[in-house]
Homo-oligomer: A and B are copies of this chain.
Amino acid sequence: MKKIAVGQAGGPTSVINTSLVGFLEEIDVEVFGVINGFQGLVEGNLTHINEQKKKEINQFRKIPGACLGAGRYTLSEENKVEAIRVLQKKDIHCLVFIGGNGTASALYKLSETAKELNYELQVIGIPKTVDNDIYGMDHAPGFASAARYVATSVRDINQDLKSMRNFEQVRIIETMGRHSGWLAAASGLLKINKNAGPQAICLPEQQLKIENILENIKEIVSQNGFATIVVSEGIKIKDNNFEEKMSVKGRTVLGGVSSGIANRVKKELGFVAREEVLGMNQRSSQLTISLQDLEESYQVGQKAAWLVREEVTNVMVGIHRKERNSYQYFLSEVPLQKIYTSGESHLPKLFLEDFDAYYKWLSPLVGNDLQSYPEIFI
Protein backbone atom coordinates (compact mmCIF):
# COMPACT_ATOMS: atom_id res chain seq x y z
CA MET A 1 0.00 0.00 0.00
CA LYS A 2 1.32 3.44 -1.00
CA LYS A 3 2.34 5.90 1.73
CA ILE A 4 2.46 9.66 1.38
CA ALA A 5 4.12 12.52 3.25
CA VAL A 6 2.60 16.00 3.02
CA GLY A 7 4.04 19.27 4.32
CA GLN A 8 3.75 23.05 4.17
CA ALA A 9 6.69 25.38 3.55
CA GLY A 10 7.64 29.04 3.35
CA GLY A 11 5.67 31.99 4.64
CA PRO A 12 2.07 30.87 5.22
CA THR A 13 -1.04 32.37 3.66
CA SER A 14 -4.56 32.75 4.98
CA VAL A 15 -5.70 29.78 2.86
CA ILE A 16 -2.73 27.38 2.95
CA ASN A 17 -4.62 25.09 5.35
CA THR A 18 -7.59 25.01 2.98
CA SER A 19 -5.34 23.33 0.40
CA LEU A 20 -4.20 20.80 2.99
CA VAL A 21 -7.80 19.98 3.86
CA GLY A 22 -8.71 19.65 0.17
CA PHE A 23 -5.80 17.26 -0.31
CA LEU A 24 -6.54 15.11 2.73
CA GLU A 25 -10.23 14.79 1.91
CA GLU A 26 -9.37 13.17 -1.44
CA ILE A 27 -6.59 10.88 -0.23
CA ASP A 28 -7.47 7.31 0.74
CA VAL A 29 -4.02 5.93 1.55
CA GLU A 30 -1.78 6.30 4.59
CA VAL A 31 -0.53 9.88 5.07
CA PHE A 32 2.17 11.37 7.26
CA GLY A 33 2.27 15.08 8.03
CA VAL A 34 5.68 16.73 7.91
CA ILE A 35 6.01 19.10 10.87
CA ASN A 36 7.78 22.45 10.33
CA GLY A 37 8.47 22.21 6.62
CA PHE A 38 11.67 20.91 5.04
CA GLN A 39 13.54 21.17 8.34
CA GLY A 40 11.05 18.70 9.81
CA LEU A 41 11.53 16.42 6.82
CA VAL A 42 15.30 16.34 7.27
CA GLU A 43 14.95 15.79 11.02
CA GLY A 44 12.36 13.05 10.60
CA ASN A 45 9.63 15.06 12.31
CA LEU A 46 6.66 13.25 10.76
CA THR A 47 3.30 12.56 12.34
CA HIS A 48 0.83 9.91 11.27
CA ILE A 49 -2.41 11.53 10.12
CA ASN A 50 -5.08 9.21 11.44
CA GLU A 51 -8.81 9.97 11.47
CA GLN A 52 -8.47 12.00 14.69
CA LYS A 53 -5.67 14.15 13.22
CA LYS A 54 -7.68 14.59 10.03
CA LYS A 55 -10.54 15.99 12.09
CA GLU A 56 -8.17 18.32 13.92
CA ILE A 57 -6.67 19.58 10.66
CA ASN A 58 -10.16 20.11 9.28
CA GLN A 59 -10.73 22.69 12.01
CA PHE A 60 -8.04 24.84 10.34
CA ARG A 61 -9.83 24.88 6.98
CA LYS A 62 -10.46 28.66 7.17
CA ILE A 63 -7.73 29.57 9.66
CA PRO A 64 -4.55 31.38 8.54
CA GLY A 65 -1.02 30.14 9.19
CA ALA A 66 0.33 26.68 8.38
CA CYS A 67 -1.21 24.23 10.85
CA LEU A 68 1.57 21.65 10.29
CA GLY A 69 4.23 24.33 10.84
CA ALA A 70 6.12 25.68 7.86
CA GLY A 71 9.17 27.90 8.26
CA ARG A 72 12.00 28.69 5.90
CA TYR A 73 14.82 26.22 5.40
CA THR A 74 17.47 25.82 2.73
CA LEU A 75 18.30 22.22 1.84
CA SER A 76 22.04 21.50 1.67
CA GLU A 77 23.44 18.57 -0.35
CA GLU A 78 23.76 16.55 2.83
CA ASN A 79 20.26 17.42 3.99
CA LYS A 80 18.71 16.32 0.73
CA VAL A 81 20.19 12.85 1.18
CA GLU A 82 19.05 12.89 4.81
CA ALA A 83 15.50 13.76 3.71
CA ILE A 84 15.40 10.81 1.29
CA ARG A 85 16.69 8.51 4.07
CA VAL A 86 13.86 9.67 6.33
CA LEU A 87 11.29 8.80 3.66
CA GLN A 88 13.00 5.49 2.97
CA LYS A 89 12.91 4.50 6.64
CA LYS A 90 9.12 4.88 6.61
CA ASP A 91 8.79 3.39 3.11
CA ILE A 92 7.19 6.61 1.82
CA HIS A 93 7.40 6.95 -1.95
CA CYS A 94 5.33 10.07 -2.46
CA LEU A 95 6.13 13.58 -1.20
CA VAL A 96 3.66 16.46 -1.48
CA PHE A 97 4.43 19.99 -0.36
CA ILE A 98 2.34 23.15 -0.32
CA GLY A 99 4.56 26.10 -1.09
CA GLY A 100 5.87 28.63 -3.57
CA ASN A 101 8.90 29.01 -5.83
CA GLY A 102 11.35 27.84 -3.18
CA THR A 103 9.26 24.78 -2.45
CA ALA A 104 8.96 23.87 -6.13
CA SER A 105 12.75 24.09 -6.43
CA ALA A 106 13.30 22.05 -3.27
CA LEU A 107 10.91 19.33 -4.50
CA TYR A 108 12.65 19.23 -7.87
CA LYS A 109 16.07 18.87 -6.24
CA LEU A 110 14.81 16.19 -3.87
CA SER A 111 13.48 14.19 -6.81
CA GLU A 112 16.91 14.48 -8.47
CA THR A 113 18.61 13.30 -5.28
CA ALA A 114 16.17 10.38 -5.06
CA LYS A 115 17.06 9.39 -8.65
CA GLU A 116 20.75 9.45 -7.80
CA LEU A 117 20.05 7.23 -4.80
CA ASN A 118 17.86 4.93 -6.92
CA TYR A 119 14.95 5.64 -4.63
CA GLU A 120 11.57 5.74 -6.30
CA LEU A 121 9.90 9.01 -5.35
CA GLN A 122 6.81 10.75 -6.70
CA VAL A 123 6.83 14.50 -5.94
CA ILE A 124 3.89 16.89 -6.27
CA GLY A 125 3.67 20.61 -5.44
CA ILE A 126 0.55 22.47 -4.36
CA PRO A 127 0.92 26.20 -5.06
CA LYS A 128 0.64 28.97 -2.45
CA THR A 129 2.06 32.45 -2.47
CA VAL A 130 1.14 35.98 -1.52
CA ASP A 131 3.67 37.45 -3.95
CA ASN A 132 2.05 35.68 -6.96
CA ASP A 133 5.49 35.00 -8.38
CA ILE A 134 5.23 31.29 -9.24
CA TYR A 135 6.20 30.71 -12.85
CA GLY A 136 3.88 29.05 -15.35
CA MET A 137 0.46 29.73 -13.87
CA ASP A 138 -2.06 32.57 -14.05
CA HIS A 139 -1.99 33.03 -10.27
CA ALA A 140 -1.68 30.94 -7.12
CA PRO A 141 -3.81 30.59 -3.95
CA GLY A 142 -3.08 33.03 -1.14
CA PHE A 143 -2.38 35.93 -3.46
CA ALA A 144 -5.98 37.05 -3.96
CA SER A 145 -6.67 37.26 -0.21
CA ALA A 146 -3.44 39.21 0.34
CA ALA A 147 -4.39 41.53 -2.53
CA ARG A 148 -7.80 42.02 -0.90
CA TYR A 149 -6.09 43.05 2.32
CA VAL A 150 -3.74 45.45 0.53
CA ALA A 151 -6.44 47.04 -1.64
CA THR A 152 -8.83 47.68 1.27
CA SER A 153 -6.10 48.81 3.68
CA VAL A 154 -4.60 51.32 1.28
CA ARG A 155 -8.08 52.62 0.41
CA ASP A 156 -8.80 53.14 4.13
CA ILE A 157 -5.39 54.56 5.11
CA ASN A 158 -5.66 57.00 2.21
CA GLN A 159 -9.11 58.09 3.40
CA ASP A 160 -7.72 58.56 6.91
CA LEU A 161 -4.83 60.70 5.61
CA LYS A 162 -7.21 62.76 3.48
CA SER A 163 -9.11 63.73 6.61
CA MET A 164 -5.87 64.65 8.43
CA ARG A 165 -4.27 66.56 5.56
CA ASN A 166 -3.85 69.83 7.44
CA PHE A 167 -1.78 67.95 10.05
CA GLU A 168 0.01 65.28 8.03
CA GLN A 169 0.68 65.17 4.29
CA VAL A 170 2.47 62.00 3.28
CA ARG A 171 2.13 58.31 4.01
CA ILE A 172 4.51 55.73 2.59
CA ILE A 173 2.77 52.36 2.72
CA GLU A 174 4.96 49.27 2.38
CA THR A 175 3.61 46.00 1.01
CA MET A 176 5.10 42.54 0.67
CA GLY A 177 6.51 41.46 -2.69
CA ARG A 178 10.12 40.40 -2.65
CA HIS A 179 10.79 40.44 -6.36
CA SER A 180 7.47 41.20 -7.97
CA GLY A 181 4.95 44.01 -7.82
CA TRP A 182 1.68 42.07 -8.05
CA LEU A 183 0.73 42.83 -4.45
CA ALA A 184 1.90 46.45 -4.35
CA ALA A 185 0.11 47.20 -7.62
CA ALA A 186 -3.10 45.69 -6.18
CA SER A 187 -3.20 48.67 -3.80
CA GLY A 188 -4.85 50.79 -6.48
CA LEU A 189 -7.64 48.32 -7.25
CA LEU A 190 -10.34 50.39 -5.52
CA LYS A 191 -9.33 53.83 -6.87
CA ILE A 192 -12.41 55.54 -8.22
CA ASN A 193 -10.37 57.70 -10.59
CA LYS A 194 -6.76 58.61 -11.42
CA ASN A 195 -6.49 61.34 -8.79
CA ALA A 196 -7.64 59.16 -5.90
CA GLY A 197 -5.08 57.57 -3.60
CA PRO A 198 -2.70 55.84 -3.84
CA GLN A 199 -1.32 58.53 -6.09
CA ALA A 200 1.90 56.62 -6.79
CA ILE A 201 2.97 52.96 -6.62
CA CYS A 202 6.63 51.90 -6.68
CA LEU A 203 7.41 48.37 -7.89
CA PRO A 204 10.46 46.08 -7.95
CA GLU A 205 10.03 45.84 -11.73
CA GLN A 206 10.81 49.56 -12.09
CA GLN A 207 14.13 51.39 -12.16
CA LEU A 208 13.64 54.00 -9.43
CA LYS A 209 15.65 56.98 -8.29
CA ILE A 210 15.03 58.53 -4.88
CA GLU A 211 15.23 62.01 -6.43
CA ASN A 212 12.37 61.21 -8.81
CA ILE A 213 10.25 59.70 -6.03
CA LEU A 214 10.71 62.81 -3.88
CA GLU A 215 9.97 65.13 -6.78
CA ASN A 216 6.83 63.18 -7.57
CA ILE A 217 5.66 63.38 -3.95
CA LYS A 218 6.25 67.13 -3.89
CA GLU A 219 4.18 67.50 -7.07
CA ILE A 220 1.33 65.35 -5.75
CA VAL A 221 1.13 67.23 -2.44
CA SER A 222 1.15 70.60 -4.18
CA GLN A 223 -1.73 69.57 -6.45
CA ASN A 224 -3.69 67.38 -4.07
CA GLY A 225 -2.86 68.48 -0.52
CA PHE A 226 -1.59 65.05 0.49
CA ALA A 227 0.07 61.98 -1.01
CA THR A 228 -0.49 58.28 -0.38
CA ILE A 229 2.48 56.40 -1.80
CA VAL A 230 2.74 52.61 -1.97
CA VAL A 231 6.11 50.87 -2.17
CA SER A 232 6.87 47.20 -2.45
CA GLU A 233 9.36 45.95 0.15
CA GLY A 234 11.54 44.72 -2.70
CA ILE A 235 12.05 47.94 -4.66
CA LYS A 236 15.55 48.81 -5.72
CA ILE A 237 16.44 52.44 -5.38
CA LYS A 238 19.51 53.77 -7.13
CA ASP A 239 22.16 55.44 -4.98
CA ASN A 240 20.49 54.21 -1.83
CA ASN A 241 20.76 50.77 -0.48
CA PHE A 242 17.48 50.64 1.39
CA GLU A 243 17.17 46.97 0.63
CA GLU A 244 18.79 44.95 3.38
CA LYS A 245 17.42 45.25 6.85
CA MET A 246 18.18 42.05 8.62
CA SER A 247 19.39 38.64 7.70
CA VAL A 248 17.85 35.56 9.29
CA LYS A 249 19.62 32.25 8.80
CA GLY A 250 21.26 33.55 5.65
CA ARG A 251 18.04 34.82 4.10
CA THR A 252 17.51 38.56 3.84
CA VAL A 253 14.33 39.69 5.52
CA LEU A 254 13.10 42.75 3.69
CA GLY A 255 11.24 45.69 5.16
CA GLY A 256 12.19 49.18 6.09
CA VAL A 257 12.24 50.83 2.70
CA SER A 258 9.15 52.87 3.66
CA SER A 259 10.81 54.41 6.71
CA GLY A 260 13.85 55.27 4.59
CA ILE A 261 11.69 57.18 2.12
CA ALA A 262 9.51 58.79 4.84
CA ASN A 263 12.65 60.12 6.52
CA ARG A 264 13.87 61.65 3.26
CA VAL A 265 10.43 63.24 2.72
CA LYS A 266 10.55 64.82 6.18
CA LYS A 267 14.10 66.02 5.83
CA GLU A 268 14.14 67.19 2.24
CA LEU A 269 10.54 68.22 1.55
CA GLY A 270 9.58 69.36 5.04
CA PHE A 271 6.25 67.51 5.00
CA VAL A 272 4.89 65.54 7.91
CA ALA A 273 5.33 61.96 6.71
CA ARG A 274 4.73 58.57 8.23
CA GLU A 275 5.60 55.03 7.15
CA GLU A 276 3.03 52.26 7.34
CA VAL A 277 4.28 48.69 7.02
CA LEU A 278 1.27 46.50 6.28
CA GLY A 279 3.07 43.54 7.83
CA MET A 280 1.98 39.96 8.51
CA ASN A 281 -1.73 40.80 8.26
CA GLN A 282 -1.27 40.74 4.49
CA ARG A 283 -0.72 37.02 4.52
CA SER A 284 -2.70 36.09 7.61
CA SER A 285 -5.86 38.17 7.85
CA GLN A 286 -8.89 35.92 8.15
CA LEU A 287 -11.47 38.68 7.64
CA THR A 288 -10.07 39.52 4.20
CA ILE A 289 -10.01 36.00 2.79
CA SER A 290 -11.38 36.11 -0.75
CA LEU A 291 -14.10 33.51 -1.36
CA GLN A 292 -12.70 32.79 -4.83
CA ASP A 293 -9.28 32.23 -3.26
CA LEU A 294 -10.77 29.92 -0.67
CA GLU A 295 -12.46 27.83 -3.34
CA GLU A 296 -9.39 27.61 -5.56
CA SER A 297 -7.07 26.76 -2.67
CA TYR A 298 -9.31 23.81 -1.82
CA GLN A 299 -9.39 22.67 -5.43
CA VAL A 300 -5.60 22.71 -5.96
CA GLY A 301 -5.33 20.46 -2.89
CA GLN A 302 -7.92 18.06 -4.32
CA LYS A 303 -6.20 18.07 -7.70
CA ALA A 304 -2.87 17.14 -6.08
CA ALA A 305 -4.54 14.09 -4.53
CA TRP A 306 -5.82 13.04 -7.94
CA LEU A 307 -2.32 13.44 -9.40
CA VAL A 308 -0.93 11.23 -6.64
CA ARG A 309 -3.41 8.54 -7.65
CA GLU A 310 -2.59 8.97 -11.36
CA GLU A 311 1.13 8.48 -10.64
CA VAL A 312 2.00 11.87 -12.16
CA THR A 313 5.27 13.23 -10.78
CA ASN A 314 7.54 16.28 -10.79
CA VAL A 315 4.76 18.82 -11.25
CA MET A 316 3.05 21.57 -9.29
CA VAL A 317 -0.67 22.12 -9.70
CA GLY A 318 -1.34 25.37 -11.58
CA ILE A 319 -4.34 27.64 -12.09
CA HIS A 320 -4.94 28.82 -15.63
CA ARG A 321 -7.43 31.25 -17.05
CA LYS A 322 -9.62 30.66 -20.07
CA GLU A 323 -9.62 33.52 -22.55
CA ARG A 324 -13.17 34.63 -21.90
CA ASN A 325 -14.91 37.84 -20.90
CA SER A 326 -16.08 36.36 -17.64
CA TYR A 327 -13.66 34.75 -15.20
CA GLN A 328 -13.24 31.03 -15.91
CA TYR A 329 -10.31 28.88 -14.96
CA PHE A 330 -8.99 25.34 -15.07
CA LEU A 331 -6.31 23.45 -13.18
CA SER A 332 -3.22 22.03 -14.84
CA GLU A 333 0.20 20.65 -14.04
CA VAL A 334 3.33 22.77 -14.33
CA PRO A 335 6.65 20.86 -14.47
CA LEU A 336 8.74 21.54 -11.36
CA GLN A 337 11.85 21.82 -13.50
CA LYS A 338 10.26 24.70 -15.43
CA ILE A 339 9.49 26.57 -12.20
CA TYR A 340 12.97 25.86 -10.85
CA THR A 341 14.77 27.12 -13.94
CA SER A 342 12.52 30.08 -14.75
CA GLY A 343 12.77 32.07 -11.51
CA GLU A 344 10.10 34.40 -10.16
CA SER A 345 7.26 35.58 -12.33
CA HIS A 346 7.04 39.37 -12.55
CA LEU A 347 4.20 41.75 -13.30
CA PRO A 348 4.08 41.59 -17.12
CA LYS A 349 4.74 44.64 -19.27
CA LEU A 350 1.08 44.76 -20.33
CA PHE A 351 0.02 45.36 -16.73
CA LEU A 352 2.96 47.62 -15.85
CA GLU A 353 1.92 49.93 -18.66
CA ASP A 354 -1.82 49.65 -18.09
CA PHE A 355 -2.89 49.27 -14.47
CA ASP A 356 -6.56 49.26 -15.52
CA ALA A 357 -5.94 46.08 -17.50
CA TYR A 358 -4.32 44.60 -14.39
CA TYR A 359 -7.29 45.54 -12.20
CA LYS A 360 -9.68 43.97 -14.68
CA TRP A 361 -7.63 40.78 -14.40
CA LEU A 362 -7.44 41.04 -10.58
CA SER A 363 -11.01 41.94 -9.72
CA PRO A 364 -12.68 38.49 -9.99
CA LEU A 365 -9.95 36.99 -7.80
CA VAL A 366 -10.28 39.59 -5.04
CA GLY A 367 -14.09 39.76 -5.22
CA ASN A 368 -16.46 42.36 -6.64
CA ASP A 369 -18.10 43.17 -3.31
CA LEU A 370 -15.68 45.92 -2.23
CA GLN A 371 -16.57 49.61 -2.19
CA SER A 372 -14.65 52.37 -3.97
CA TYR A 373 -14.90 55.61 -2.00
CA PRO A 374 -16.29 58.72 -3.68
CA GLU A 375 -13.64 61.35 -4.43
CA ILE A 376 -15.59 64.26 -2.94
CA PHE A 377 -14.18 67.05 -0.82
CA ILE A 378 -17.02 68.44 1.30
Contact = CB atoms under 8 A, between A and B. Distances in A.
Q: How many copies, total?
A: 2
Interface of A: 8, 11-12, 14, 33, 35-37, 39-40, 47, 53, 56-57, 59-60, 63-73, 152-153, 155-157, 159-168, 171, 248-249, 253, 272, 274, 276-281, 283-288, 371, 373-374, 376, 378
Contacts of A33: 378
B162 A65 contact: yes
A168 B53 contact: no
Contacts of A278: 279
B286 A288 contact: no
Contact of A160 (B56, B168, B248, B280): B280
Contacts of A165: 36, 69, 71
Contacts of A371: 63, 286
Contacts of A378: 33, 35, 47, 53, 56-57, 67-69
Contacts of A72: 164, 167
B281 A156 contact: yes
A164 B12 contact: yes
A16 to B, nearest CB: 8
User: Taking each of A59, A65, A274, A376, which has the highest tally of chain B beta carbons within 10 Å of its own beta carbon?
Assistant: A65
8 contacts: A36-B166, A53-B378, A63-B373, A69-B378, A71-B165, A73-B167, A156-B284, A167-B248
A160 B37 contact: no
Contacts of A69: 162-166, 378
A67 B280 contact: no
Contact of A288 (B14, B39, B287): B287
B288 A71 contact: no
Nearest to A272: B248
A37 to B, nearest CB: 7
Given A71-B165, A272-B248, A378-B57, A64 B160 contact: yes
Contacts of A373: 63
Given A371-B286, A378-B57, A164 B70 contact: yes
Contact of A167 (B155, B249, B281): B249
